[in-house]
Structure 1
């Protein structure tokens, strides 16, 4: 009966124009769940709806690094920014649970503040039309209640955010996406983040980003060393631009147009060196991740099945976090109010296996 069901599913996908033999799936004699990459830990659940994670490296004690994840909230229920240890346990003292629809979060290091440098977490708060800035690891608010975004447009509602510390001068920029926007190449706004009198403010430096007009642009990631920013035009492709506003707004490339079941969602970059590595993209409805080369033309490498369900945001960091995660951590949202925490070595094995085929 199980084999027969797999055959019917495959035929239905062919009829609907969905994925076929290019998809990484189980053979008729294998349980598909056993082929999915499994996490080392799953976080304690949030109240409503997980969306996007970030990872903060504690360079003095890597095993005490933090995972930060958003809970969007629900009708009548406020959202939150949850702080976890590397085993997925919630730090209740650091977590913030009175936010108005927080969506995406990112982390940057070395923000000048009060004659020192600090690390920051930046996230979008959709219902206040702002981005929020908190100092890490204390989770101390340093934005005087939030930085307004998209002020000159009626289409505001921020969702995605990615931080870009420019290597030439270490100025930190926030690239912000929204729930909907124009199709004239100004969907994304980029802000320079600056501290004045102990408070971080944002200055608009450019508008860019071509949107297809279908679904939205939420997932954004910056490749600091290479100088690019990528975003998911969810129903169409992954788009690539220069991250430095001084280099202009020309779209460099679009790729990933094929073999996605539905939405292209979360983006993250695993850096093997300053120039090489992988770009991982969530194929949300298929419960898989597409892997592209970080370098060159971002050629497609493989598609890997994960145990996440309807995964939206994800993050990956190549760092030695100790014996459990010596080559880095991959964290992905799952549609059961959790984030799943993966040992990068398990993902690398799957990529290597795919490359041997």
Structure 2
């Protein structure tokens, strides 16, 4: 098993947008599991059947579906909405029945996330996605989602890196709650070179703008990320290395090793989508797509230790494989998903185009004995 020496540079912004290297951290994170001699995963993966699925994305015969997001309708949980990207074409909105409610033909949108924010005294479901349409100029595509109709209203595609930056491709994306007054939310774009750029989403001249704050760089390609709002922590998946935990408090982003590729943590490269499942006032888990063996690993956020592994398989809808993006939201989503909902991209939905599978969180809890 080879050790991966990872160099990380955290960068903060000075007044006019100039960049100052603030920290260089060298950490050995053992265990690239992509070699023929990689150890077998010790934790078994338990089969959990899908309870639903979405209509396939419109782009067929290629890798197209990528990342989901979930909006829970607190007033009518069964009327909640789910979203998924077609990274060749745009963004879908589905009902919990998996049927298409809307489609925004917005180009090459890769990862998607959402937050409820207050704009002008009104709650808005703000949706953001990494826009790869221009591979040299990364942007955040923004939309407002109407919870009643399921329709998306485009709000523009915002650049966020300081002037004069090197060409960069937007890749991963996640959102977090505001960390300071005057903000709607925070946005995190994972660039193809392993950098993660943090921006404030703010109101400016009647539109939502992305105001760059700081950057942290990982040594190799990364994509999946998720923000634990309650813990004020960003998690990032460095695909061939493992998962990093990045506390968001303070002026600098200082990563900490959380889980590594290899037998002990149950991850097989590539490590892809990440999601946080946090109970109200209770336990919380980080869920990760272990793409290399088409499984999903859970970690207890209270202890940082592995809590189990599962695969989506069995049942009438078939399983998933080669999963990119995932999402989990807890709470009542109606009779089919009484404790919460998980979505996972299916990389092989033959004979149809790729789609997203839906799972009951209750079924996952039961299978892994999380009670």
**Same fold per superposition (TM over 0.5):** yes
Judged with a 3 Å threshold, the aligned counterparts in structure 2 of structure 1 residues 140 and 16 are, in CA distance, closer, same or farther, namely same
Name the residue aligned to 1:342.
359
C-alpha RMSD of matched pairs (Å): 2.2
Name the residue aligned to 1:236.
241
Equivalent position SS for 1:352: coil
| 2:192 equivalent to 1:179 | yes
The TM-score, its normalising length taken from structure 2, stands at 0.79
Name the residue aligned to 2:223.
218
Judged with a 3 Å threshold, the aligned counterparts in structure 2 of structure 1 residues 122 and 15 are, in CA distance, closer, same or farther, namely closer
Give unpaired runs (5+ residues) of structure 2: 1-32, 313-318
Judged with a 3 Å threshold, the aligned counterparts in structure 2 of structure 1 residues 119 and 21 are, in CA distance, closer, same or farther, namely closer
Equivalent position SS for 1:175: strand
| 2:151 equivalent to 1:141 | no
How far apart in 2 are the matches of 1:243 and 1:351?
Answer: 30
Judged with a 3 Å threshold, the aligned counterparts in structure 2 of structure 1 residues 39 and 89 are, in CA distance, closer, same or farther, namely same
Greater fraction of residues in strand = 2
Equivalent position SS for 1:347: helix
Give unpaired runs (5+ residues) of structure 1: 1-12, 26-34, 74-78, 182-186
Greater RCO between the two (CA within 8 Å, min separation 6)?
2
Q: 184, 192, 197: which one pairs with 2:200? A: 192
Name the residue aligned to 2:53.
42
Stretch deviating more after TM superposition (40-49 or 14-23): 14-23
How far apart in 2 are the matches of 1:156 and 1:236?
Answer: 22
For 1:199-348, what aligned pairs fall within 5 Å after superposition?
199-209=207-217, 211-213=218-220, 216-244=221-249, 246-259=250-263, 260-274=267-281, 276-296=283-303, 298-306=304-312, 307-335=319-347, 336=349, 337-348=354-365
Checking the alignment, whether the CA contact within 8 Å between 1:167 and 1:225 is kept in structure 2 is no
| 2:80 equivalent to 1:69 | no
Equivalent position SS for 1:308: coil
Q: How many residues end up aligned between the 2 structures?
A: 312
Checking the alignment, whether the CA contact within 8 Å between 1:167 and 1:224 is kept in structure 2 is no
Judged with a 3 Å threshold, the aligned counterparts in structure 2 of structure 1 residues 168 and 149 are, in CA distance, closer, same or farther, namely closer
